Amino acid sequence: MSDEPLVEHLFRHQFGKMVSVLTRIFGLSNLEMIEDAVQDTFVNALTKWRIQAPDDPEAWLMQAAKNRMVDLFRKTKAENKHTEQLYYSPGAHHLNELFLDHEIEDAQLRMIFVACHPALKPEEQIAFALRSIAGFNIKEIAVGLLLPEETVKKRLQRARKKVVDQGIEFAVPSGADLLPRFNRVMDVIYLIFNEGFQSTHQAQIIKKDLCGEALRLCQLLLKRDEMRSSKLYALFALLCFHSSRLDTKISQEGELIDLEHQDRTQWFWPLIKLGNEAMNKAMESDELSTYHFEAAIAGEHIKARTFAETDWNQIAHWYACLLEWHDHDIYRLNLAYVHIQQGNFANAERLLLQIPPKNLADRQYLLFGTWAELHKAKGDRQKANASLKEAIEAVTNDVERRYLEGKLRG
Amino acid sequence: MKEFMMIFVGTPYEELGLSPEQMQARMGKWFAWSNKMESQGIAHRGEALHDAVKRISGPDRVVGDGPFVESKELVGGYYIVKAESVDDVVEIAQGFPDYDLGSSVEIREIMVFDQ
């Protein structure tokens, strides 16, 4: 028996791999059957391994999936010409070859592009990607996205139905279709990351896993020559910079710690280094994206050894660029915060007044919180408290509510 | 040294609907238990059992398909261990990972016939 610790997230990652490979063989129309089959394989493995642990759990599972595939093939071949061709046609891949590492990665890449097909709504794309590529089950997705399980289930069903009804190909699109879809893939990765990073709640481990999955998907794309673009490197840099701070955002008691009070010595340097390398690559061409500016801002925070040493002028500059590039109220809100740090209260107020609260949807509390910062910085404690109360009224999760309540008391 | 059978009784994993991460955690506990026994020099071997049951009974040899008990009472597998006494095995069985799932361990000494 092996003394090695069980590979981290073995089952989850293996789920994504197996589902992708089997989908390549059996087609997207059999996705549900494939997911059930992989689930069965896991349950069997788990039962078997209680008695005798395998030397190489990953290889064991892959072998079990192959065997399972042959079973499925026997069951479905009568009705499914697709598999028959794959099995018998002389030009077809030998089935074993589809289980080689690079072919598995290829299958996973196809799955990401399927998930981001424009026929699927953005929220369906995220649920589909988390299920079929990242291997989260319905319960985990529900916890990760703060949604009822029933909602997740419906989204997945709708997504699967669209994939089948519209005959979406299990392939990376080519020609003119590639770029818009690739952009959407990056957006979905970004959104998955944000779900993990921005909102905080009790199920911290799942949240961290969302961030980890976003990083992993990004790396999967970066492995491919034809996918490596300036924008992708910038996105990767951004995710690395943010991830490096992940462990310092929440205290051991589960309380939120803001940037000012995070223990900067605990930021994770290997990720910062990776981020810096990616950022250098991102700057090699003239192509720019919002990710470039967001990464530059995240990088600027990382660079400051203390909160007081933060180069707010540089950050204000990046936010101004970002707003010019893509007018969005969240950027405007952040710029207002930067102006408060710089003491430019008039500018901050002007920006905040431009933001209609309803534009921020469930992030409205951030606007009220920033108003509170502004009033406090100007020495108006009464108005600051009134804004804080508005923020507490609007906030949706407990950790952030406690953080705001702490501010109200302190 | 005597031989004992530890019989694992409980709901099959399939019915518990474990998430991938829960499976991961479960697996880690089983490996740890198994490693612990190994490091203590407790030899163990065993098998896992499928849930489906065939039962043949009665003078007419009627064949039935089970499970015939509630799923929380299904035998999922067994270990055979060597130990000095049943108390030692009770001690070993403290490490069984699935108590929190409502499963249990039954310990039986394997009978040896002296001629």
Side chain identity at A337, as an amino acid letter?
Y
Residue of chain A nearest B48, judged by CA positions: A48
For A409, the token pair is: 């008391």
Give the A-side interface with B, CB within 8 Å.
1, 3, 5-6, 9-12, 15, 40, 42-43, 46-53, 57, 135-137, 139-140, 205, 209
Lookup: tokens for A149: 């399980």
A81-90, A175-184, A236-245: which range is least confident on average? A81-90
Beta bridge partners of A159: none
Q: What is the pLDDT of residues A19-35, one digit of tens each?
A: 999 898 888 988 988 88
* A317-351 residue pLDDT tens: 999 999 998 899 999 999 999 999 999 999 999 99
Tell me: ipTM over 0.90. no
CA distance A96 to A100: 7
| Neighbouring-strand partners of residue B75 | B9
Assess contact for A141 and A133: CB atoms under 8 A. Answer: no
Query: Are A386 and A401 within 8 A, CB to CB?
Result: no
Kindly tell me if the per-residue pLDDT of A12 is higher than 80.
yes
- Chain B residue numbers with beta carbons less than 8 Å from the beta carbon of A133 are none
pTM, rounded to two decimals: 0.82
Please write the tens of the pLDDT for every residue from A185-205: 999 999 899 888 876 555 667
What pLDDT, in 10s, does the model give residues B36-91? 998 988 888 899 898 889 999 999 999 999 888 888 899 999 999 999 999 999 99
Average pLDDT, stretch A164-171? 93
Burial of A315-348, coded b for 16+ CB within 10 Å and e otherwise, reads bbbbbebbbeeeeebebbbbbbbbbbbeebeebb
> What are the beta bridge partners of residue A246?
none
* Chain B residues whose beta carbon lies within 8 Å of the beta carbon of residue A9: 20-21, 24
CA distance A321 to A334: 13
Which residue from A minimizes the CA distance to B38? A1
Question: Tokens 């204000």 — which residue?
Answer: A316
